[in-house]
Amino acid sequence: MIKKLRFQIAFTVSLVLSLVLAVILFMVNILSYSSTYAEAYELMELIAADNGETGNVIGDDPSSKFYTYRNAQFYSVFFEHDGSVVMVKNEKNSEYTDDELVKICEAINKSGSFKGTYGKFVYAVGVFFGGRSVVIMDNSVNIQNIRTVRQNSVLIGCIGILIIGWMAFAVSDWIVYPVKQAYEKQKQFISDVSHELKTPIAVISANAEVLEDEVGENKWLDYIKSESDRMNGLVKDLLMLSRLDASAEQKEFVSVNMSKVVEGTAMPFEVIAFDKKIGFDCSVEENISVMGEEDKLKQVVVILIDNAIKHTDENGSIEVKLYSVRTKAVLEVINTGAEIPKENREKIFERFYRVDEARNSEEGGHGLGLAIAKSIVDRHKGNISVDCANGKTKFKVII
């Protein structure tokens, strides 16, 4: 439980902080993109207004706003109102011919937009007496800078997520420490109380039997013996849970023939079911083996079948199935009867939880059977679940 809680805390903290980091990096990229292009558009509009001249706009002053664009390549094409070319301003040693620039600027001019991007170019359209000027700038440097910012953001994000995950896992240990201490004290308390109760319960039972021998049958003595037996069963269940919780009690797993375990365990319940007029069907696939502890796995089968018999009305039916899915063994115990409310299905595996208090009290239940089954299944790295449909309740174990 503590490991699961620690993982949940670490995962939640990591997820939240990673999302915050991702949002921050996303906003940095958006702002970088927006500011870069806003500045480029402003520059191009100024150059277009100055008939394609860059000297007055960029200047030679390093403190100038657009000084970083001093090495950029600028091109201009002037058009008459009828679309004919008046003049082309091309750079020395340009990689574009005049015809190529004219084609690019004609496409821009036909778009009707006064500023924007065209391929790797940023452009602005100016209006002069008698025609239009289209000024374009090779924006490769800005595109590369934006790409670099994006790549660095991804790298920073990945490294940040790893660091966040490591820190969250480290901090989670500190966060769950008080819970861990309380949980350990609770386990120790349950174990100590259970051991302390064994002796007085045994004494009460023994004295009740001696009195019965002396005074004969007596309903008050029957009550004492009945409650003593019930308390003795509760103490045994508590001790079982304590042993399952204690890591020192774990044994080395061996190969267990689950088919034989289910068949051998289910057989005695057929008589009980027959006495209660309950149909009982057991279908077991042969030679299914799992790694685990045979006595504990047998206990899971006993708990599930016993639980099914308790909650199946007269003339109802119980099905016990064991089959394999790939490398997993699947055990299903299905019984007819009242369905478990949806909101209670996860809670029934909690300790001392009982859906129907009155019914369980009559049958002597303590609300620990399914909790023990779940602890055993968890111990075997398996999964146990419950589902209800069409008047049937199905417990499913996958190991």
42-61: pLDDT as tens digits:
999 998 888 888 888 887 78
Q: In CATH, which of 3.10.310.10, 1.20.1070.10, 1.10.287.130, 3.40.50.720 is domain 172-247?
A: 1.10.287.130
Query: Closest Cα to residue 87, out of 66, 102, 104, 65?
Result: 102
- Strands 115-118 and 121-128 come out as antiparallel
Q: Determine the pLDDT at residue 361.
A: 44
Running DSSP on this structure, what letter comes out for residue 350? S
Distance, in Å, from the CA atom of 149 to the CA atom of 294, rounded to the nearest integer, reads 59
What are the beta bridge partners of residue 387? 394
% the chain with pLDDT above 90: 30
Helix or strand holding residue 121 (H, E):
strand 121-128
Residues of the chain with pLDDT > 70, as a percent, come to: 87
Whether 66 and 43 have beta carbons less than 8 Å apart is answered as yes
Instruction: Please state whether beta strands 254-257 and 85-89 pair in parallel, antiparallel, or not at all (unpaired).
Output: unpaired
**Stretch among 160-169, 204-213, 334-343 having the lowest mean pLDDT:** 204-213
pLDDT tens sequence across 325-368:
988 999 999 999 888 888 777 778 876 666 554 444 445 455 67
User: Residue 64 — pLDDT band, cuts 50, 70, 90?
Assistant: confident
CATH topology of domain 253-398: Heat Shock Protein 90 (3.30.565)
Residue 332: what pLDDT? 93
The Cα-based distances of 62 to 59, 67, 69, 363 in angstroms read 8, 6, 11, 91
What string of DSSP letters covers 188-242? HHHHHHHHHHHHHHHHHHHHHHHHHHHH---HHHHHHHHHHHHHHHHHHHHHHHH
**Tokens representing residue 365 in the block:** 């239940």
pLDDT attached to residue 249: 47
User: Which span out of 98-112, 184-198, 353-367 was modeled with the highest average pLDDT?
Assistant: 98-112
CB-based burial, 220-255: b 16+ in 10 Å, e otherwise: ebeebbeebeebbebbebbbbbbebbeeeeeeeeee
Give the count of beta carbons closer than 10 Å to the beta carbon of residue 175: 15
What's the pLDDT tens digit per position in 17-34?
999 999 999 999 999 999
Residue range 306-322: mean pLDDT, rounded: 90
Q: How far apart are CA 382 and CA 346, in angstroms?
A: 16
CB 9 within 8 A of CB 172: yes
| pLDDT tens per residue across span 229-261 | 777 766 776 676 666 666 544 567 889 999 999
The C-alpha atoms of residue 232 and residue 208 are separated, in whole angstroms, by 14
Mean pLDDT of the chain: 83
- Would the pLDDT of 220 be above 90? no
